[in-house]
Amino acid sequence: MTETAGTTPRERYRAQVRAEIKQHAWEQLATTGVAALSLNAIAKQLGMSGPALYRYYASRDDLLTDLIRDAYRSLADEIRAAGAAGADLAGLARAFRDWALADPQRYFLIYGTPVPGYHAPDDTAMISREIMAVLIDVSAARPVSGPATPFEAELDRHRDWAGESPAPAAALSRALSFWSRVHGVLSLELAGQFAGMGFDPALLFADEVARLLAR
């Protein structure tokens, strides 16, 4: 995601350098993984000293937070756009898969193994809730019937994670089940776990979504 340009030459230059730092950081994540993210290595690539780079990002965690925010915002914008265009849950699943396949490292940064010692700020959770809000709204548009399951009854007592949504517990449960199943299949695909099995992962993904929606 490109940072908004500043209003002065100095601000625009700072935004440009920060964008270049992030680009090198994404490239580093793709080759060495998030645990090995190094500001000093990025500074060397940019031809600047370590202390000079620290004027733009005070620490590795500062840079990591910016990358995570960008990743969450990119996905949230993608899902919100799909929802606004009238996508059903299957359409949202396709939008999510397309987003993840376009940049697997971006996906793993926010949904992969947590970085040891790193704690994301609260605002990243708020962006993540935007994604869930779309899933809940679309889930609530589907008919709900039958008695509440024990899990749905539990969700009705713990709704804070769903924000201000008035959706019934069955819709909340459907949204969570959808999110979990989509993540499960997609994480295995991106990690290469289906390699050598001979089938098309896209067909498995579509089949899992169809089975979930048939419930």
For the chain, which domains are there?
1-58 (1.10.10), 60-213 (1.10.357.10)
Above pLDDT 90, what percent of the chain? 51
Asked if the model's pLDDT at residue 144 lies above 80, the reply is no
Asked if the model's pLDDT at residue 1 lies above 60, the reply is no
Of how many residues is the chain composed?
Answer: 215
Q: Note the pLDDT tens digit of each residue in 82-122.
A: 999 999 999 999 999 999 999 998 999 999 888 888 888 88
Which tokens is 166 given?
């008035």
Asked if the model's pLDDT at residue 21 lies above 90, the reply is yes
- Where helices occur in the chain by DSSP H, the ranges are 9-32, 39-46, 50-53, 60-84, 89-102, 104-111, 122-140, 150-157, 169-190, 201-213
Q: Note the pLDDT tens digit of each residue in 170-212.
A: 888 888 889 999 999 999 999 999 999 999 999 999 999 998 8
Which tokens is 25 given?
């950081």
Task: Give me the half-sphere count of Cα atoms (radius 13 Å) on the Cβ side of residue 153.
Answer: 5
Angle between helices 169-190 and 201-213 (to 10 degrees): 170
* Structure confidence at residue 8 (pLDDT): 87
| Full DSSP string of 114-126 | PPTT----HHHHH
